[in-house]
Chains A and B, each alone.
Chain A
Amino acid sequence: MSHNESFEQACPLPALEKQTVQLAHGGGGRLMQELIRDVFLRAFDNPALASLHDGATLPIEKGTLAFTTDSYVVHPLFFPGGDIGSLAVHGTINDLAMCGAKPLSLSAGFILEEGLNMGTLHRVVESMAKAAQAAGVPIVTGDTKVVDRGKGDGIFINTAGVGLVPAGVRVLPELVMPGDAILLSGDLGCHGVAVLSVREGVAFSGNVESDSAPLHRVVADLIDSGVEVHCLRDLTRGGLASALNEIAVAAKCGMVIDESVIPVHETVRGACELLGLDPLYVANEGRFVAMVPESHVETALTVMRRHAEAYQAVRIGAVTMENPPLVVLQTLLGTHRILDLLSGEQLPRIC
């Protein structure tokens, strides 16, 4: 895959004594100090982390704190358009953004498998550093553990994050009400299909890259522009369909969305047709829905489309009083069906 070749090392590889991760790298001794100094500090370089204290202390203004955590176990570690490192940064930033918060800083916890190639760890850590820097959200504290070979899958990463919710801002599913419009930030399914294509070795014509991206800037712009945002939700596992169902339950409302206006990339559609998957349930890492009053739709879409990560923003439906908490899809043919939660993961069909 060409995405691997295009990777550029941001700084030269330090001459670490060991070329693979060993149990001692998590043992608290000299090897662990070396790992922290040469890999993590070098990449995540910032004053809060450099103090090497047990935790970071962060000055904050008055306001409401948003706090979230997420663990990343993606396989393979590298995929078109991203890797487990950039994903771990974007995912947690996005969870904060969906609370209406401006992300302040992240923590990073690594669970490394004994025998992991040190070069692989470097690539992941550099990618995290790059993503955090681009997003303007530093990684200020961290932890490393090493587990026996066979008891991990290379690298597991947990990131937690804190952010500040500006005064007067409340973004909650309970605030969603009948009459709200449902806005979608972009096309669906690129992340899920990109990962599937490398994991299963299924080649599709036309490359699909993960949509993984930080969404805090577009969210901040929405809020700063005076759009009355009732609810935001990023469309990760379970995709659009699952996110809408969760919100409908919390808001005790129904929803109707229009299949014909939901953007799906041509290659993603083709892959889904082939495998019998529904793009409305496929995972994304850089897409979200926003529920806003109908009168704010025009402003909201204009603001969203100013940002590269939401340039395809579109109104896909509305919140209704009917049939709570069902999400109804108006099909391409104008008929209606429900968009239910799946009982588990989508499985490729037989024929």
Chain B
Amino acid sequence: MKYVDEYRDRTLATTIAERIARTMSRPWMIMEVCGGQTHAIVRFGLDALLPSSLTLVHGPGCPVCVTPIGLIDQARHLASLPRVIFCSFGDMLRVPGSRGDLFSVKAAGGDVRIVYSPLDAVALARVNPDREVVCFAVGFETTAPAWAMAVVHAKALKLTNFSLLVAHVLVPPAMEAILSSPQNRVQGFLAAGHVCTVVGYEDYEVLAARYRVPIVVTGFEPLDILEGIGLLVSQLEEGRIEVENQYVRSVRREGNPQAKAVVDEIFEPAPRIWRGIGEIARSGLQLRPTYANWDATVRFQHDLAQVGHKGEEDSECQSGLVLQGLMKPPDCPAFATRCTTENPLGAPMVSSEGACAAYYRYRNHMRREA
């Protein structure tokens, strides 16, 4: 298949991996920020091709994983209201809140629907004028433009029964939180190619300079990731600190100006709690006050007043350490024993971008044999 097969070539992969091994003179620890990259690494076994002195740690780039438990509780409450059609991307439905996930609300009679595009949710609102369509707007900078466009459409169509429960998060503040932590061991970053397709990488140049850390904007196919790692290792070995763009077929330095403009029109930065990590200033998005009519937290203020803002997290779950690259999933005492994809203690074991799920799904035999 075009644009896929050429990035999964075995010979090229081996060649790049060998080149990386030859370049390395000492151990390095690098982090891939995005959960999509984590899954590609584990699914294709890329780490097995690389020298063992190169440690890959997995970052917080799983939107499902970092959505705070309090917001999931709010989502569950809204989804259970009889007048509400609750729309979400499929990933989000299995993530546990304080008292179960959105699937259990659906089973109890809530009208919960999986949508593939935010505009599908707008269409639902149009054909159901007597119902309230509420959307769980989850994701990083990648999906923000689509939700922003949904609000633009809803406004143009004068829809008064459409609103967003916004859980959007931003990558650079999270990277900054990791870099400024005294426990940080990460020496270089693979930045998420799709996030940068939207926002570009000027913000990353500021981070690289401030924290003296090399960053390579990287794609998601096996050869993209290997090439990104190669560029990063070269920078580390040569003592260079730059932002390089491996994903040139998709990313420009300035990003996508139209997408950025629509996001800026609809949303503004806000403090956000990251599940397992805590609150990070200006790390989330919320609807601007001029768009409050489409803000579910405003429209359903009274309904949500009875939902607590801070849910109870399982005390055994180490997802905060995993999401900050301080622990590998198999090193968690609960991994594959008390925490499995069937009975997850935390979100990273559920999401298709979660690091724990990646190891459990593709590697759990290693744990069993250990």
Measured CB to CB, the residues of A under 8 A from B are 200-202, 266, 269-270, 273, 275-276, 323, 326, 331-338, 340, 342-344, 347-351
22 contacts between A and B (CB under 8 A): A273-B1, A275-B116, A332-B8, A332-B44, A332-B222, A333-B10, A333-B45, A334-B10, A334-B14, A335-B44, A336-B45, A337-B42, A340-B364, A343-B342, A347-B91, A347-B93, A348-B116, A349-B36, A349-B352, A350-B64, A350-B139, A351-B142
**Separation of A202 and B116 alpha carbons in the complex (Å):** 8
Task: Count chain B CB atoms within 10 A of each CB in A273, A275, A335, A348 and give the residue with the most.
Answer: A335
Contact between A266 and B1 (Cβ–Cβ < 8 Å)? Answer: yes
Given the contacts A200-B116, A347-B93, A276 and B44 also touching, CB distance less than 8 Å: no
> Which single member of B4, B49, B143, B363 contacts A337 (CB below 8 Å)?
B363
Give residues 65-80 of B contacting A (CB, 8 Å). none
A338–B43 Cα distance when bound, in Å, is 9
Q: How large is the interface on B (under 10, 10 to 19, 20 to 34, 35 or more residues)?
A: 35 or more
Cβ of B143 to closest chain A Cβ, rounded Å: 5
Residues of chain A contacted by B352 (CB below 8 angstroms): 276, 347, 349
Q: Is A343 touching B139 in the complex (CB atoms < 8 A)?
A: no
B45 adjacent to A340 (CB under 8 Å): no
| Apart from A326-B365, A336-B45: 7 A-B pairs, beta carbons within 8 A | A273-B4, A332-B44, A334-B14, A347-B93, A347-B94, A349-B36, A351-B143
CB distance from B235 to the nearest CB of A (A): 24
Q: How many A-B residue pairs have CB under 8 A?
A: 91
Q: How far is the CA of A337 from the CA of B140 in the complex (A)?
A: 29
- Do A340 and B361 touch across chains, with their CB atoms under 8 A apart? yes
**Beta-carbon contact of A349 and B90 below 8 Å:** yes
Q: Given contacts A347-B90, A349-B91, are A333 and B342 in contact (CB under 8 A)?
A: no
Does the CB pair B365–A323 fall under 8 Å?
Answer: yes
Decide: A333 and B365 in contact? CB cutoff 8 A: no
Please, what's the 1-or-0 string for B69-107, where 1 marks a CB less than 8 Å from any CB in chain A? 000000000000000000001111110000000000000
Q: Which residues of B contact A340 (CB under 8 A)?
A: 360-362, 364
Does B152 sit at the interface, judged by CB under 8 A? Answer: no
Contact (Cβ within 8 A) B138 A350: yes
Min Cβ gap A192→B in Å is 14
A175 smallest CB distance to B (angstroms): 25
- What separation, in Å, do the CA atoms of A332 and B44 have in the docked complex? 8
B1, A270: Cβ atoms closer than 8 Å: yes
Q: Closest approach, in angstroms, between the C-beta of A204 and any C-beta of chain B? A: 12
Given A266-B1, A276-B352, check contact A348 B46 (CB 8 Å): no
Name the residue of chain A whose CB is nearest to the CB of B360. Answer: A340
Q: Is the CB of A335 within 8 A of B94?
A: no
How far apart are the CA atoms of A323 and B365 in the complex, in Å?
A: 8
Contact B363 A350 (CB under 8 A): no
Q: Which residues of B contact A338 (CB under 8 A)?
A: 361-365
Bound Cα distance A326, B94 (Å): 25
Chain A residues, Cβ within 8 Å of B304:
none
How near does chain B come to A334, taking the closest CB pair, in angstroms?
A: 6
Taking CB as reference atom, which chain A residue is nearest B8? A332
Contact partners of B342 in chain A: CB under 8 A? 343
Q: How far is the CA of A201 from the CA of B114 in the complex (A)?
A: 12
> What 1/0 flags go to B9-40 for Cβ under 8 Å of A?
01001100000000000000000000010000
Interfacial chain B residues near A331, Cβ < 8 Å: 43-45
Name the residue of chain A whose CB is nearest to the CB of B226: A333
The residue of chain B having its C-beta at the shortest distance from the C-beta of A349 within the complex is B352
Q: Is the CB of A269 within 8 A of B48?
A: no
Let me know if B63 is at the binding interface, CB within 8 A: yes
Contact A351 B36 (CB under 8 A): yes
Q: How far is the CA of A269 from the CA of B8 in the complex (A)?
A: 14
Q: Which residues on the A side are within 8 Å of B361 (C-beta)?
A: 338, 340
- Contact between B45 and A337, CB atoms less than 8 A apart: yes
CB distance from B117 to the nearest CB of A (A): 9
Complex CA distance for A243 and B301, rounded to whole angstroms: 48
Counting chain B CB atoms within 10 Å of each CB, which of A266, A337, A342, A348 scores highest? A337
- Nearest A residue to B48 via CB reads A335
Which of B13, B42, B143 has the most chain A CB atoms inside 10 A of its CB? B13
Q: Within the complex, which residue of A269, A275, A326, A351 is in contact with B63, where a contact is CB–CB below 8 Å?
A: A351
Contacts known (A349-B353, A351-B142, A351-B143); A332 close to B89, Cβ less than 8 A: no
Task: Tell me how far the C-beta of A282 lies from the nearest C-beta in chain B, rounded to whole angstroms.
Answer: 14
- Of all chain B residues, the one with the shortest Cβ separation from A273 is B4
Q: Which chain A residues border B8 with CB–CB below 8 Å?
A: 332-333
Determine the chain B residues whose CB is within 8 A of the CB of A351 once the complex forms. 36, 63, 139-140, 142-143, 194
With A275-B116, A333-B10, A333-B49: A350-B362 Cβ-Cβ less than 8 Å: no
Residues of chain A contacted by B341 (CB below 8 angstroms):
342-343
- Give the chain A neighbours of B364 by CB distance below 8 A: 338, 340
B92 to chain A, nearest CB (A): 7
Q: Are A350 and B63 touching (Cβ within 8 A)?
A: yes
What 6 A-B pairs come out closest when comparing CB atoms?
Answer: A335-B45, A347-B90, A337-B362, A343-B341, A348-B90, A351-B142
Give the docked Cα–Cα distance between A335 and B124 (Å).
44
- CB neighbours of A344 from chain B (8 A): 94
Q: Is the CB of B143 within 8 A of A350?
A: yes
CB B333 to nearest CB in A, in angstroms, measures 21
Residue on B with the closest CB to A201? B120
Within 8 A of A (CB), among B163-207: 194
What CA separation (Å) do A166 and B328 show in the bound complex? 54
| Of listed A200, A269, A350, residue having the most chain B CB within 10 A | A350
B89 touches A350 (CB 8 A): yes
Which residues of A are found within 8 Å of B63, using beta-carbon distances?
A: 350-351
Chain B 334-370 interface mask (CB, 8 Å, partner A; 1/0): 0000001110000000001100000011111100000
Within 8 Å CB of B340, what residues of A?
343
Closest approach, in angstroms, between the C-beta of A202 and any C-beta of chain B? 6
Q: Report chain A residues within 8 Å CB of B90.
A: 347-349
Shortest C-beta distance, A94 to chain B (Å), equals 28
Q: Please name all residues of chain B whose beta carbon is closer than 8 Å to the beta carbon of A326 when the two chains form the complex.
A: 365
